[in-house]
Amino acid sequence: MQSYGSTIVVVPRRYRSYLEEELGLVETVYNNINDIIIVRKPNRKYYIPIPYLEKIKTMKPENIIIMDYIKPRHIINLYRELHTNIIDRVQLILQIFANHAGSREAQLQIELARIQHELPLIREMIRASKMHELPGFLGSGEYAVDKYYRYAKKRAAKIRRELDKIRKIRAHRRDKRLSRGYPHVALVGYTSAGKTTLFNRITGEAKKTGSEPFTTLSPKISAIKYKEIKIAFIDTVGFIRDLPVEVIEAFYATLEEAIYSDIIINVVDISRGVERAEYEILESLGILSEIGVHGKPVITALNKIDLIPENNINKIIEALKNRIELEYIIPISAEKGININKLMETIYNILNPISKINIYNKHR
Ligand SMILES: Nc1nc2c(ncn2[C@@H]2O[C@H](COP(=O)(O)OP(=O)(O)OP(=O)(O)O)[C@@H](O)[C@H]2O)c(=O)[nH]1
Ligand SMILES: [Mg+2]
């Protein structure tokens, strides 16, 4: 965990019921939250309503995190009043991504998303400094900002080219895998649902897991043999509520692997209640259909049942079944290894006819 000094978090009212989740995102980067402000009606000029703004001035925080989409002019106006770091929800999410990015691809995607998010702000800065509204904003004169703007655009184009190359290589590897004929199972779901824990449990890998959001930032693949079938498992990047558009593009690319898989396992943390699980299941299915996954078998793995009293598990599953229609539901504990065999058998039974076609047609 990192600390960047005193921090005030500003949350729009619509996130009030998810306050804990939103603060969880903030706390992965800023662990020194001094105050939380809930905004009912954003101010047109500053986003933050004037009475709060006056209060913040006396507190002199080092960071103000605004968990909403804010306009470049809000950032500029706030900076002029407060002279402190103003970070919006997108920037925060990109910071979390950056802190976790291991692969070259993930790093490039984040840099690209950052540039795309910054460009409108830089344009607004250029406009404001040309109107002499912003002498020496962030210590840079008009010329420096102009120069940075041109650099950023060039850099973005270069990153796009490099990402294209990386994706082609991955697509090539994927084609090879597919032509060898073994089936693929993709693990998808919300961040911290336990996808990597399940992936490790099934494949014997030791990939990093953790309670903070976005522990996994690029797809991981590992194949095992189950009975006579070789099966490749793919661990993917987790979803979060209201994933910003700037991040979606980068994020969807890593989900490409799911499009080409034979089965999807939607991993859901069931320990936080039926309502939340339902929301996350539906959101995940929505994202999958947006990226073009249609008509594939989806296994819903209700994870972390070790955290639920045993006599409650069936009740919870029934409640969930009454709310949504799901093809395969399997309660599991990835961490404690509960019901993993059942999950594997289900995968096997779905794959068996598919793998037979692949194996017998391609190799005999
Ligand atoms: N009690 C309990 N905890 C679990 C279980 N599975 C995972 N966890 C914990 O949940 C947290 C998140 O697990 P991960 O496997 O990293 O989750 P993920 O879905 O890969 O998360 P991202 O990579 O961030 O999308 C970790 O602290 C795990 O130890 C489980 O079955 N029971
Ligand atoms: Mg993970």
Cα–Cα distance for residue pair 35/25, rounded to 1 Å:
15
Cα–Cα distance for residue pair 249/327, rounded to 1 Å:
29
Ligand 2 centroid to residue 172 C-alpha, Å:
24
pLDDT in tens, the chain (364 residues): 455 679 999 999 998 888 988 998 999 899 889 999 999 999 999 999 999 999 999 999 999 999 998 999 999 999 989 999 999 999 999 888 888 777 788 889 889 999 988 898 888 888 877 776 655 555 556 677 788 889 999 999 999 999 999 888 888 877 777 776 789 999 999 989 999 999 999 999 999 998 888 788 777 889 999 998 999 999 988 888 887 766 776 666 667 778 889 999 999 999 999 999 999 999 899 888 887 888 899 999 999 999 999 889 999 999 999 999 999 999 999 999 999 999 999 999 998 875 555 544 444 4
Residue 259 has what pLDDT? 81
List the one residue out of 65, 62, 55, 57 whose CA is nearest residue 12. Answer: 65
Cα–Cα distance for residue pair 353/234, rounded to 1 Å:
21
Residue 240 has what pLDDT? 84
Residue 6 has what pLDDT? 92
Could you tell me the pTM of the whole model?
0.82
Q: Would you give the DSSP letter of residue 224?
A: E
Residue 355 has what pLDDT? 53
Residue 218 has what pLDDT? 75
Ligand 1 centroid to residue 177 C-alpha, Å:
28
Q: Which atom of ligand 1 is nearest to 239's Cα?
A: 25
Ligand 1: which of 93, 100, 188, 197 to mutate, most ligand atoms within 8 Å of CB? 197
Nearest CA to ligand 1 atom 1: 304
**Which residue type, as a one-letter code, is found at position 359?**
I
Ligand 2 centroid to residue 272 C-alpha, Å:
18
Residue 169 has what pLDDT? 87
**Which residue type, as a one-letter code, is found at position 6?**
S
Residue 1 has what pLDDT? 46
Ligand 1: which of 209, 247, 338 to mutate, most ligand atoms within 8 Å of CB? 209
List the domains of the chain with CATH numbers: 7-150 (3.40.50.11060), 181-363 (3.40.50.300)
Distances in Å between the alpha carbon of 282 and those of 11, 66, 275, 278, 303? Answer: 25, 27, 11, 6, 16
Residue 300 has what pLDDT? 97
Residue 253 has what pLDDT? 66
Task: Indicate the SS3 state at residue 33.
Answer: strand
Give the strand order in the sheet containing 263-269.
220-226, 229-235, 184-189, 263-269, 298-303, 328-331
Instruction: Compute φ and ψ for 303, nearest 5 degrees.
Output: -95, 165
Ligand 2 centroid to residue 308 C-alpha, Å:
22
Distances in Å between the alpha carbon of 105 and those of 98, 112, 187, 257? Answer: 11, 11, 20, 14
Pocket of ligand 1 contains residue 343 by CB under 6 Å: no
Write the secondary structure of 174-208 as one string of H (helix), E (strand) and C (coil). HHHHHHHCCCEEEEEEECCCCHHHHHHHHHCCCCC
Pocket of ligand 1 contains residue 307 by CB under 6 Å: yes
Distances in Å between the alpha carbon of 181 and those of 220, 226, 259, 292, 342? Answer: 19, 15, 16, 22, 24
Instruction: List residues, by chain if needed, whose CB lies under 5 Å from ion ligand 2.
Output: 195-196, 215-216
